[in-house]
Amino acid sequence: MRSFAGPSVAGRRVLITGAARGIGAALARRLSVEGARVALLGIEPELLAEVAAECGDVPWRYCDVADPAQVGRVIPALVTELGGLDVLVANAGIAKQMAMVGGDASVLEETLAVNVLGVAYAVQAAGPYIAHADGYVLMMSSISSAVQLPLGGAYSASAAAVSALAETLRFELCSTGARVGVTYFAGIDTDMTVRGFDTAAAHTILGGTSLAGISPIGPAVDAMERAIARRKATVYAPWWVAMARPLRPFAQLVVQRLHGNRVARAVEIARSEDAPFTTEQPARPRRMERQ
């Protein structure tokens, strides 16, 4: 059910990346209920098929967003099935802890490949279809683009990069009438958060607590629906993120004061802990191996 008055998403043709679970799946279900026509892509075929069925047997495809060839094939095919495109939600993303000193640098490479290059590839493939007066691109950044946690350097870097890409795209599309939005979320109850913080190193840093608790997914999906309906530039969830971003230096100081005395031990643990990505990734050649 819609939780706000105003413009509706009904009739909008929406393509969502990373739609197999989490926010992507929840948003697909919500938009379908509200009358949008959605198409889904992701790397978990069984889950994607289930979500697509729940949304009324909408079109879906397997697609690794870090592979530009796949993205270049899949997105035009889905757009054809939708009969055009009004909204791209570049939602696919992963996270994994990494110590900056002594950690596995391939974590950074993999994270940027999905969270940054994957967004860029999706935008490039969808761009010709989205560049019209009703077009809208919604990119997923994070509070981590402004306030950083230890061991989260790879994810924080990707979030900051997505924010920069969104600002650039906003300028480049302004003459077409299309708009660009960016989400800044924190601690949403999804696999990204639960799996990402369910490590020995993370538990050591948090000391059995969470910085602001884990927020339910519902308000975040509400905010995204409103953003799509109104083509908003900025989306926050929970509400306090809107206050934390302008107060970045103070917020960073609070984080350091709360968790700083546990960081050294957590970094030591992280260097040898075999933590998974929040979403299992397909095998890809590492950049060093391609050279």
| Active site amino acids | 155
Q: Quick one: three-class SS letters along the chain?
A: CCCCCCCCCCCCEEEEECCCCHHHHHHHHHHHHCCCEEEEEECCHHHHHHHHHHCCCCCEEECCCCCHHHHHHHHHHHHHHHCCCCEEEECCCCCCCECCCCCCCHHHHHHHHHHHHHHHHHHHHHHHHHCCCCCEEEEECCHHHCCCCCCEHHHHHHHHHHHHHHHHHHHHHHHHCCEEEEEEECCECCHHHHHHCCCHHHHHHHCCCCCCCCECHHHHHHHHHHHHHHCCCEEEECCCHHHHCCCHHHHHHHHHHHHHHHHHHHHHHHCCCCCCCCCCCCCCCCHHHHC
